[in-house]
């Protein structure tokens, strides 16, 4: 059976911590940094549960700041 | 597979649009403008219009739209973008001219320019970001503010006996013979983003094919102005804005003729 | 032909790219003539009747930003509506031509001739520190000639120019020699001549953005300094005026536009009576011919400013001569045009025989 694996790269300095990617992710991959902030003082998003990512790009599509890149591999 | 094995150029399925400039956008966290900017940048790029697109920026939150999308731009006076677009398009018929306006700009101070560009059937794309508020000036009532909504100038909620009714401007322009495509979209979910992109693509193709005016309204949020988190704002928009401003195509001359 | 018609013909012959206008008396013949001549079939010039003067001037702004030679025309109340757009044109350093065929104000006023928009045209009109190059024709020939001159100056200095005519010269019929037909510039010529123009990033060139917005005050001040340098250049190079009978004059009349012709008749009548009067007719109202008036005033006993208004240009004339010479105003308002005898009477009352009055 094919297995889909994904990964996201979040440009943390662009992120404003709006949380919309976290909400959009169907696999609960993303979270906002609970303590750490970026140079602008935002709790930026990060892949907290990386292995669950399926590379669907839902997060990237709704990201208003275009700070998410998505990669996807389909293993057969 | 390890993360390193996945993150390779050949596996990339979503990247920052090539025509989005490096500047960090000045919009508040969660603002719909950013998503629509991305879509406009993607559509211009994908249709091969990078050397043909001329954007007309509004007054309002998107006043700096020209800082973010890599194409030629003219910054208009408040509400006048469709007048600028009319001349830019007529004098440069090989180019594709689009305006990018908020609801205050397009549906209040610029109503006349909007209506007349649409009724003349100018071969342009008009993009309306409708978040029902004046964001830039601090959250005052706009023509599209819903009844009951609290704003800086309707602190007890908009009342139609005092402030009139919310203006369904897309429905208005759909009645004009010059519009070829009028649609209402949103960008709050991945599915909505996909549909909005399809609508924008159609609109830019219409302009290139000189079919008349395409009007794309994006029902949007203003979490700062609405005093909500971006997530709450999306929810409020779905429950309230989408009721008054239902999503979908309002007019499509291509679909009608058979 | 009429002055307004001459403007239309001259615009086509100049190779103008676009005209955007809205009907208002007494200048509607400009738009009417252009629509009748259908230049889009010949030179390719765009002509569009807009929904308002506000839209017209913003169409001019949009067209000018793409490097095209574009113009509009209107009359006083309409030009008031255009002031915002004119300020944007000036701030964005865009060439454009605006024609004001003035009528009597304030408010809706009258449809009859006036010169009461002098302050508006020469001192700003819209908001911010800017100037227009203001040309004041007194003949139908000049109506035609100033279209080309206005466009040339606008493009030379990248600033809007105005032809400030009035209802007399707009409606009056005279013989006129029209300029030869020029070809409209090609897109390649525009790209070369106007590297700032918004034409799409053709050939992948770095993008152009036309904007008057600058939130960094330090940069905005630099922008203003650049505008002012341009204005100083214009003041140095572009002052235009005409003098008649000034060499031996005891008295000087300063008048612009159509009323200058009436004054010339008054001057000729005065000279028959042995009163030596000369005329200075400013052709550019901005830049104003301060030096020429100062020079001409050196040997005169008094200056009469004759204007079809309550006295506007007189402020510039007084600036020119300081207190060296008495300066008086004569004018009519509300659309009434003084006749030569009234001008003579004013001259006599103010200077020649002041006790008689």
State which of C148, C171, C187 marks the end of a domain. Answer: C187
Question: C28 and C146 share a domain?
Answer: yes
Condensed to tens digits (0 to 9), the pLDDT of residues C299-335 reads 999 999 999 999 999 999 999 999 889 999 999 999 9
Is C342 a domain residue?
yes
Q: Which residues from B are below 8 Å from C52, CB to CB?
A: 112
Confidence label for C20 from pLDDT (cuts 50, 70 and 90): very high
Is C206 a domain residue?
no
A42 to B15: CB separation less than 8 angstroms, yes or no: no
Q: Which residues from A are below 8 Å from B8, CB to CB?
A: 71
Confidence label for A38 from pLDDT (cuts 50, 70 and 90): very high
Of A24, A65, A73, the CB nearest to B1: A73
Report whether pLDDT(B57) > 80. Answer: yes
The alpha carbon of residue A48 is apart from the nearest alpha carbon of chain B, in Å, by 13
- Helix, strand or coil, per DSSP, at residue B112: helix
Is C304 a domain residue?
yes
Q: Which residues from C are below 8 Å from B90, CB to CB?
A: 18, 46, 48, 63
Is C28 a domain residue?
yes
State which of C171, C187, C203 marks the end of a domain. Answer: C187
Q: Between B and C, how many CB-CB pairs are < 8 A?
A: 128
Question: C176 and C266 share a domain?
Answer: no
Q: What is the pLDDT of residue B256?
A: 62
Q: What is the ipTM of this complex?
A: 0.95
- Please tell me which residue of chain B has the smallest CA distance to A72: B11
- Please tell me which residue of chain B has the smallest CA distance to A59: B190
B190 to A57: CB separation less than 8 angstroms, yes or no: yes
Q: What is the pLDDT of residue B255?
A: 86
N-term to C-term CA, chain A: 6
Is C220 a domain residue?
no
Condensed to tens digits (0 to 9), the pLDDT of residues B151-166 reads 999 999 999 999 999 9
Q: What is the pLDDT of residue C204?
A: 86
Q: What is the C-alpha separation between B235 and B229, in angstroms, rounded?
A: 10
Query: Does any CB of chain B come closer than 8 Å to the CB of residue A29?
Result: no
- Please tell me which residue of chain B has the smallest CA distance to A3: B1
Average pLDDT, chain B: 96
Question: C262 and C181 share a domain?
Answer: no
Q: What is the mean pLDDT of residues B52-56?
A: 98
Q: Which residues from B are below 8 Å from C83, CB to CB?
A: none
Condensed to tens digits (0 to 9), the pLDDT of residues C165-210 reads 999 999 999 999 999 999 999 999 999 999 999 999 988 899 999 9
- Please tell me which residue of chain B has the smallest CA distance to A13: B24
Is C20 a domain residue?
yes
Question: C27 and C126 share a domain?
Answer: yes
- Please tell me which residue of chain B has the smallest CA distance to A67: B16
Of C48, C200, C211, the CB nearest to B75: C211
- Please tell me which residue of chain B has the smallest CA distance to C17: B91
Condensed to tens digits (0 to 9), the pLDDT of residues B74-113 reads 999 999 999 999 999 999 999 999 999 999 999 999 999 9
C63 to B51: CB separation less than 8 angstroms, yes or no: no
String of DSSP letters for C226-277: HHHHHHHHHHHH---EEEES-TT-SEEEE--THHHHHHHHHHHHHHHTT--E
Question: C92 and C165 share a domain?
Answer: yes
Predicted TM-score (pTM) of this structure: 0.96
Q: What is the pLDDT of residue C356?
A: 62
Query: Does any CB of chain C come closer than 8 Å to the CB of residue B87?
Result: yes
Q: What is the pLDDT of residue C202?
A: 85
The alpha carbon of residue C107 is apart from the nearest alpha carbon of chain B, in Å, by 22
The alpha carbon of residue C104 is apart from the nearest alpha carbon of chain B, in Å, by 27
Report whether pLDDT(B170) > 90. Answer: yes
Q: Determine the structural domain holding residue C127 and report its residue range.
A: 3-187
Of B73, B91, B116, the CB nearest to C18: B91
**CA angle, B138 as apex, C224 and C81 as ends, to 5°?**
50
Query: Does any CB of chain B come closer than 8 Å to the CB of residue A18?
Result: yes
The C302-307 sheet, strands edge to edge: C241-244, C277-282, C251-254, C302-307, C327-331
State which of C187, C205, C234 marks the end of a domain. Answer: C187
Mutate which of A6, A11, A18, A47 to test chain B, going by most B C-beta atoms within 10 A? Answer: A18
Q: Do chains C and B touch (3 or more CB pairs under 8 A)?
A: yes
Q: What is the C-alpha separation between C73 and C10, in angstroms, rounded?
A: 13
Condensed to tens digits (0 to 9), the pLDDT of residues C81-104 reads 999 999 999 999 999 999 999 999
Question: C143 and C25 share a domain?
Answer: yes
Confidence label for A76 from pLDDT (cuts 50, 70 and 90): confident
- Where in chain C does DSSP place strands (E)? 18-21, 46-49, 70-74, 96-102, 133-135, 160-166, 209-210, 241-244, 251-254, 277-282, 284-286, 302-307, 327-331
Question: C30 and C178 share a domain?
Answer: yes
Q: What is the CATH number of the domain that holds C53?
A: 3.40.50.970
Give which of C244, C296, C249, C237 is closest to C138, Cα–Cα.
C244
Average pLDDT, chain C: 96
Q: What is the pLDDT of residue B258?
A: 45
Report whether pLDDT(C247) > 80. Answer: yes
- Please tell me which residue of chain A has the smallest CA distance to B68: A65
Q: What is the mean pLDDT of residues C146-159?
A: 98
A62 to B231: CB separation less than 8 angstroms, yes or no: no
Which residue has better confidence, B125 or A3?
B125
Q: What is the pLDDT of residue C167?
A: 92
Is C152 a domain residue?
yes
B92 to C66: CB separation less than 8 angstroms, yes or no: yes
Long-range contacts of B235-241 (CB under 8 A, 24+ apart): B237/B186, B237/B188, B238/B188, B240/B146, B240/B149, B241/B130, B241/B132, B241/B146
- Helix, strand or coil, per DSSP, at residue B70: coil
A64 to B27: CB separation less than 8 angstroms, yes or no: yes
The alpha carbon of residue A35 is apart from the nearest alpha carbon of chain B, in Å, by 18
Q: What is the CATH number of the domain that holds C254?
A: 3.40.50.920
* Residue B49: exposure state from Cβ atoms within 10 A (0-12, 13-18, ≥19): buried
Domain count, chain C: 2
Condensed to tens digits (0 to 9), the pLDDT of residues B214-237 reads 999 999 999 999 999 999 999 999
Q: Which residues from C are below 8 Å from B63, CB to CB?
A: 213
Of C20, C52, C88, the CB nearest to B112: C52
The β-bridge partners of B194 are none
Question: C37 and C175 share a domain?
Answer: yes
Is C193 a domain residue?
no
Report whether pLDDT(B257) > 70. Answer: no
Q: Which residues from B are below 8 Å from C85, CB to CB?
A: 77, 80
* Residue C265: exposure state from Cβ atoms within 10 A (0-12, 13-18, ≥19): middle
Q: Which residues from C are below 8 Å from B87, CB to CB?
A: 18, 20, 46, 48, 58-63, 66, 70
Confidence label for C353 from pLDDT (cuts 50, 70 and 90): confident
Question: C171 and C312 share a domain?
Answer: no
C218: part of which helix (H) or strand (E)?
helix C217-237
Mutate which of B52, B68, B84 to test chain C, going by most C C-beta atoms within 10 A? Answer: B84
The alpha carbon of residue B59 is apart from the nearest alpha carbon of chain A, in Å, by 20
Question: C89 and C171 share a domain?
Answer: yes
Question: C164 and C251 share a domain?
Answer: no
Q: What is the C-alpha separation between C70 and C63, in angstroms, rounded?
A: 6
C66 to B91: CB separation less than 8 angstroms, yes or no: yes
Q: What is the mean pLDDT of residues B4-16?
A: 95
Q: Do chains A and C touch (3 or more CB pairs under 8 A)?
A: no
Q: What is the pLDDT of residue C323?
A: 87
- Please tell me which residue of chain B has the smallest CA distance to C54: B80
Strand bridging mode A45-47 / C277-282: unpaired
Q: What is the mean pLDDT of residues A27-48?
A: 97
Q: What is the mean pLDDT of residues B180-191?
A: 98
Q: What is the mean pLDDT of residues C49-75?
A: 98
Question: C137 and C9 share a domain?
Answer: yes
Give whole-number Cα distances, C232 to C130, C157, C287, in Å. Answer: 12, 11, 9
B13 to A64: CB separation less than 8 angstroms, yes or no: no
């Amino acid at each position: 059976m094919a297995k889909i694996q994904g990964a996201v790269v979040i440009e943390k300095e662009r992120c404003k911590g709006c949380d919309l990617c976290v909400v959009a992710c169907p696999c609960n991959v993303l979270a906002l940094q609970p303590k750490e902030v970026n140079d602008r003082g935002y709790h930026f998003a990060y892949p907290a549960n990386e292995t669950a990512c399926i590379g669907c790009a839902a997060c990237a599509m709704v990201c208003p700041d275009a700070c998410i890149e998505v990669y996807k591999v389909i293993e057969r | 597979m390890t993360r390193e094995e996945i993150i390779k150029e050949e596996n990339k399925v979503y990247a920052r649009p090539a025509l989005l400039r490096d500047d960090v956008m000045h919009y508040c966290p969660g603002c719909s403008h950013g998503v629509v900017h991305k879509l406009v940048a993607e559509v211009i790029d994908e249709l091969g219009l990078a050397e043909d697109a001329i954007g007309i920026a509004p007054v309002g939150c998107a006043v700096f739209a020209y800082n973010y999308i890599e194409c030629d731009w003219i910054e208009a006076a408040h509400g006048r973008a469709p007048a600028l677009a009319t001349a830019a398009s007529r004098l440069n018929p090989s180019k594709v001219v689009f305006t990018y306006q908020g609801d205050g700009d397009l549906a209040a101070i610029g109503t006349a320019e909007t209506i007349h560009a649409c009724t003349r059937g100018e071969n342009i794309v008009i993009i309306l970001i409708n978040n029902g508020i004046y964001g830039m000036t601090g959250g005052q009532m706009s023509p599209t503010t819903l009844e009951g909504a609290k704003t800086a100038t309707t602190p007890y909620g908009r009342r139609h006996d005092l402030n009139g009714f919310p203006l369904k401007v897309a429905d208005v322009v759909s009645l004009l013979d010059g519009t070829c495509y009028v649609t209402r979209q949103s960008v709050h979910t991945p599915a909505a983003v996909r549909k909005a992109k399809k609508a924008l693509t159609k609109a830019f193709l219409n302009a290139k094919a000189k079919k008349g005016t395409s009007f794309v309204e994006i029902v949007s949020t203003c979490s700062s102005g609405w005093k909500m988190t971006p997530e709450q704002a999306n929810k409020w928009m779905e429950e309230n804005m989408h009721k008054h401003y239902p999503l979908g195509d309002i007019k499509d001359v291509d679909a009608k003729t058979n | 032909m009429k002055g307004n018609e001459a403007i239309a013909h001259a615009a086509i012959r100049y190779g103008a790219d676009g005209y955007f206008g809205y009907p208002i008396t007494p200048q509607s013949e400009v738009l009417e003539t252009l629509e009748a001549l259908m230049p889009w079939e010949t030179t390719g010039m765009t002509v569009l009747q807009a929904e308002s003067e506000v839209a017209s001037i913003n169409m001019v702004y949009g067209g000018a930003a793409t490097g095209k030679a574009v113009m509009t025309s209107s009359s006083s109340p309409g030009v008031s509506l255009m002031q915002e757009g004119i300020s944007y044109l000036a701030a964005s350093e865009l060439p454009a031509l605006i024609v004001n065929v003035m009528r009597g104000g304030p408010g809706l006023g009258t449809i009859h001739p006036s010169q009461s928009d002098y302050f508006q045209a020469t001192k700003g009109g819209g908001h911010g520190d800017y100037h227009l190059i203001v040309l004041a024709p007194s003949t139908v020939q000049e109506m035609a000639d100033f279209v080309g001159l206005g466009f040339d100056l606008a493009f030379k200095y990248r600033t809007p120019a105005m032809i400030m005519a009035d209802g007399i010269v707009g409606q009056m019929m005279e013989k006129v020699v029209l300029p030869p037909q020029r070809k409209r510039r090609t897109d390649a010529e525009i790209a070369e001549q106007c590297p700032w123009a918004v034409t799409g990033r053709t050939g992948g060139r770095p993008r152009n953005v036309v904007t008057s917005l600058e939130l960094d005050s330090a940069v905005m001040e630099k922008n203003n300094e650049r505008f002012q340098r341009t204005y100083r250049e214009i003041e140095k190079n572009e002052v235009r005026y005409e003098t008649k009978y000034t060499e031996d004059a005891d008295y000087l009349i300063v008048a612009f536009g159509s009323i200058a012709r009436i004054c010339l008749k008054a001057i000729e009548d005065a000279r028959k009576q042995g009163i030596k009067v000369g005329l200075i007719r400013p052709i550019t109202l901005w830049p104003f011919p301060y030096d020429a008036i100062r020079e001409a005033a050196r040997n005169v006993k008094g200056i009469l400013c004759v204007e079809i208004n309550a006295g506007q240009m007189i402020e510039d004339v007084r600036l020119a001569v300081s207190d060296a010479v008495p300066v008086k105003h004569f004018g009519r308002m509300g659309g009434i045009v003084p006749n030569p005898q009234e001008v003579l009477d004013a001259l006599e009352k103010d200077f020649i025989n002041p006790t008689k009055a």
